[in-house]
Structure 1
Amino acid sequence: MNTYHGDDSVELTILMPCLNEAETLEVCVRKALGFIERSGIAGEVVISDNGSTDGSQSIATRLGARVVDAPQRGYGAALIAGIEAARGTYIIMGDADDSYDFVNLDGYVERLRGGADLVMGNRFKGGIEPGAMPPLHKYLGNPVLSGIGQLFFRPGIGDFHCGLRGFNRRRITELELQTTGMEFASEMVVKASLARYRVEEVPTTLKKDGRSRPPHLRSWHDGWRHLRFLLLFSPRWLFIYPGLVAFLIGAIAVGALAIGPIQVGGVGFDVTTMVYATALCAIGYQALMFAWLTKLYATQEGFLPASPRYRAVAASWTQERGLLVGLAIFLLGILIGIVQVVRWGNLDFGPLEAGQVLRIAVPSALGIMLGFQTILMSFFAGVLTIPRRETRPEAIIEN
């Protein structure tokens, strides 16, 4: 997102993304302008048009709104263009389908003036009119995604995907939001939470939109995109926690079964279980390495903030140390294999009992695999951390 310095004479921009909203745009603009007049705030209404062909642009201009062209298609792209063009210190954004309450924005303005960086509406506290939200969204999609977002990022809000939200323009611009689709709504909350921004919420209402056509939202498709985004921005929940559990269970099982078979109640566990535990251990270890590489790449590219603890670990875990650790694990696996070959030689390389062979061969193979994976991961981490020349933007937009 380009840097923009705004206009000190405008305190509030009410921003609406628009794609063929001629049926409802007029009522939304009138409500927004009415709020600005009633509250006495120095404000403007900006319509970020995403390529409308139904005359939405002329409707907005006739009513006194400012129209911004957003040539790149997508919900996020339209909002990014609108934010860049906004003149207000604060921005309140909402859809132009007449489902959101542009008349009662006092709570948003009050929280923003009080120092909040992002103010989210909560439709479940403010009220959802019958038919305004499909049952799938109301009882499954929104509660589940909001719960996952709260668990992963702790923003302290109950409606993670409310489209009516206000924010400090300068602070949100500093987050350098990138997504051009529906994920933009999640990216804003996620990055604000990770940056330890002050995030608050106010009750708001939702009513059935006034359009005769179906909404642009596709329930399962867009729901999956939001979930995928939340997972990608939380390596701990996607990689670390599942990987750590799998690695520990697999490693403990392999270590215990290397000593001998185990009987739990009436169930016996032996070398067959040991083979599958090895696979579980290797999968978990690989997930942990993916977590490290993902975090390394994301912090290098500015997608995720780097905490002081992470910086300390990254500084101490050098490529050379990783190579040495990987080499040590690899050689340990080789050594176990050599011991087994020596024992076989003492038996004149005759037939061996299969269970005893696997009890030694499986840990040897596991050590060789984990050591080699560690070596490769260390080399790849070294590639990601090669110092590069910083590039500067060619131009800064100033109006």
Structure 2
Amino acid sequence: MPTSTEAIELSIVMPCLNEAETLATCIDKAQGYLARSGVVGEVVVADNGSTDGSQDIARAHGARVVDVPAKGYGSALLGGIEAARGEYVIMGDADDSYDFSRLDPFVERLRAGDELVMGNRFKGGIAEGAMPPLHKYLGNPVLSWIGRVLFRSPIGDFHCGLRGFNRRSILNLHLQTTGMEFASEVVVKSTLGGLRVSEVPTTLDKDGRSRPPHLRSWRDGWRHLRFLLIFSPRWLFLIPGAVAFFIGLLGTLFISFGPIILGDVGFDVSSQVYLAALTVVGYQSVLFAILTKIYAQHEGFRIPRSRNFDRLERRISLESSALVGLAIFVIGLAIAIWQFSMWAASGFGALDPSTTLRTAVLAALLMMLGAQTIMAGMFLGVLNVGLKRNR
């Protein structure tokens, strides 16, 4: 144990919820590593409400216990990280699946200036039975691949539970999530925030618990995927939505002047209806991407900004959106009134359905887009009111 005058270099943080079977082994390995390596450090157990005596076991083996009442994997870890006294933190599960006696590669990279050092179980080795096949061959590889593609991260194992980091650098990211997706948030925000990120091979052994793990494959996998997708609105909503919007809008406009024939294929009113629907869905997707990014930034999710987006955000307001939306709506309404007047001039008699529908679809589309724009502006106004109240 470090003396009161020694500066603590490393805090080894273990989240804990009823880990009485394996906690002592993990703490002893961590304490053994500190004694062998000469690193001045401490072991912190972030207890999330254990009822099996884990707290007493931790204290008996020389660990410092931090009670974290807020439930969840992320809550427990964040509570432990905030309470840690070390310059560096290495976190790992307390189920004896990670070897706390072999932390030298993490400490070496942290001392070299890396701010996040991830373990990679696929490079270090996964013991037989240590990881369910669903996680080993589908869940972890797919989610890690999505993370690398969306965020250009160099990390090959997004969900490795053994990782080290500079405590101050990670706290400056203002982490928000409380559940298992905390693991993804650390990697994503570190990458987006420009931190020095690296990985080292690590091993995964079969855990020593007799009870089922806290992890729920489909529920927690979805939470990770949801976080990755929502945190990257450009690729999930903005780009696909913009493509759908322009294809749908141009197609709807062209068909409003008459059928389009391309070779042996003809596009008429039925195609125009579907293209109009594509336009609405695409436009809604674009609006959602913009509002999601604004909301995330207002709530403390530090997504990198761009000059174009900053200019757009300054120009978007309840008033400007209402004016633009109203203008679009009025154009659509004017077309509808013109069509009605033409029908009235003919004595309200029978009209050619094909010609009438082409114009009606265009008018309805413009009115829908105008209404969507007005409501998006109103939602943005709600966000801004909430932001002012929190100041």
Pick the TM interval, shorter chain. Answer: over 0.9
Report if aligned partners of 1:299, 1:306 keep a CA contact under 8 Å in 2: no
Give the distance between the partners of 1:287 and 1:48, measured in 2 at CA. Answer: 40
* Alpha-carbon offset, residue 108 of structure 1: 1.0
Equivalent position amino acid for 2:388 in 1: R
Q: Aligned with 1:259: secondary structure?
A: coil
| 1:327 maps onto 2:311 in alignment | no
Q: Aligned with 2:136: secondary structure?
A: helix
Give the distance between the partners of 2:44 and 2:76, measured in 1 at CA. Answer: 11
Partner of 1:34: 32
* Alpha-carbon offset, residue 346 of structure 1: 4.4
Choose which of 80, 83, 89 in structure 1 pairs with 2:81.
83
Partner of 2:369: 370
* Alpha-carbon offset, residue 269 of structure 1: 2.2
Partner of 2:277: 279
Matches within 5 A, 1:332-347: 332-347=331-346
Partner of 2:349: 350
Classify 1:132/1:287 alpha carbon distance in 2 versus 1 (closer, same or farther; 3 Å).
Answer: same
Relative to structure 2, which stretch is displaced further, 221-230 or 242-251? 242-251
Give the distance between the partners of 1:319 and 1:213, measured in 2 at CA. Answer: 54
Show CA shifts across 1:80-128 (max 9, x none).
2211211100000000111112122111111112222211111111111
Give the distance between the partners of 1:221 and 1:300, measured in 2 at CA. Answer: 27
Q: Structure 1 segments of 4 or more deviating over 6 A? A: none
* Alpha-carbon offset, residue 68 of structure 1: 1.4
Give the distance between the partners of 2:346 and 2:68, measured in 1 at CA. Answer: 78
* Alpha-carbon offset, residue 266 of structure 1: 4.1
Equivalent position amino acid for 2:38 in 1: G
The answer for unaligned runs of 5 or more in structure 1 is: 1-5, 392-399
Partner of 1:64: 62
Show CA shifts across 1:249-295 (max 9, x none).
21122122212223345443210111121111111111211222221
Matches within 5 A, 1:171-190: 171-190=169-188
Give the distance between the partners of 2:293 and 2:137, measured in 1 at CA. Answer: 33
Q: Aligned with 1:146: secondary structure?
A: helix
Q: Aligned with 2:22: secondary structure?
A: helix
* Alpha-carbon offset, residue 47 of structure 1: 1.0
Q: RMSD across aligned C-alpha pairs, in angstroms?
A: 2.0
Equivalent position amino acid for 2:342 in 1: R
* Alpha-carbon offset, residue 136 of structure 1: 0.4
Partner of 1:316: 315
Relative to structure 2, which stretch is displaced further, 210-219 or 135-144? 210-219
* Alpha-carbon offset, residue 318 of structure 1: 4.1
Equivalent position amino acid for 1:333 in 2: G
Equivalent position amino acid for 1:9 in 2: A
* Alpha-carbon offset, residue 389 of structure 1: 5.9
Normalised to the residue count of structure 1, the TM-score between the two structures is: 0.91
Partner of 1:388: 388
Equivalent position amino acid for 1:162 in 2: C
Matches within 5 A, 1:171-320: 171-305=169-303, 307-309=305-307, 310-320=309-319
Q: Aligned with 2:156: secondary structure?
A: coil
Relative to structure 2, which stretch is displaced further, 275-284 or 89-98? 275-284
* Alpha-carbon offset, residue 39 of structure 1: 1.4
Report if aligned partners of 1:8, 1:88 keep a CA contact under 8 Å in 2: no
* Alpha-carbon offset, residue 48 of structure 1: 1.2
Q: Aligned with 1:202: secondary structure?
A: strand
Percent of aligned positions that are identical: 62
Report if aligned partners of 2:245, 2:281 keep a CA contact under 8 Å in 1: yes
Equivalent position amino acid for 1:262 in 2: I
Give the distance between the partners of 1:265 and 1:229, measured in 2 at CA. Answer: 45
Equivalent position amino acid for 2:49 in 1: G
Q: Aligned with 1:22: secondary structure?
A: coil
Equivalent position amino acid for 2:221 in 1: G
Equivalent position amino acid for 1:288 in 2: V
Choose which of 131, 138, 141 in structure 1 pairs with 2:139.
141
Report if aligned partners of 2:293, 2:303 keep a CA contact under 8 Å in 1: no
The answer for unaligned runs of 5 or more in structure 2 is: none
Report how many residues are paired. Answer: 386
Give the distance between the partners of 1:56 and 1:318, measured in 2 at CA. Answer: 53
Q: Aligned with 2:348: secondary structure?
A: coil
Matches within 5 A, 1:149-160: 149-160=147-158
Partner of 1:127: 125
Relative to structure 2, which stretch is displaced further, 261-270 or 25-34? 261-270
| 1:167 maps onto 2:134 in alignment | no
Give the distance between the partners of 2:169 and 2:124, measured in 1 at CA. Answer: 26
Equivalent position amino acid for 1:337 in 2: A
Partner of 1:396: none
Where relative contact order (Cα < 8 A, 6+ residues apart) is larger, the structure is 1
Q: Aligned with 2:388: secondary structure?
A: coil
Give the distance between the partners of 1:19 and 1:352, measured in 2 at CA. Answer: 72
Equivalent position amino acid for 1:311 in 2: D
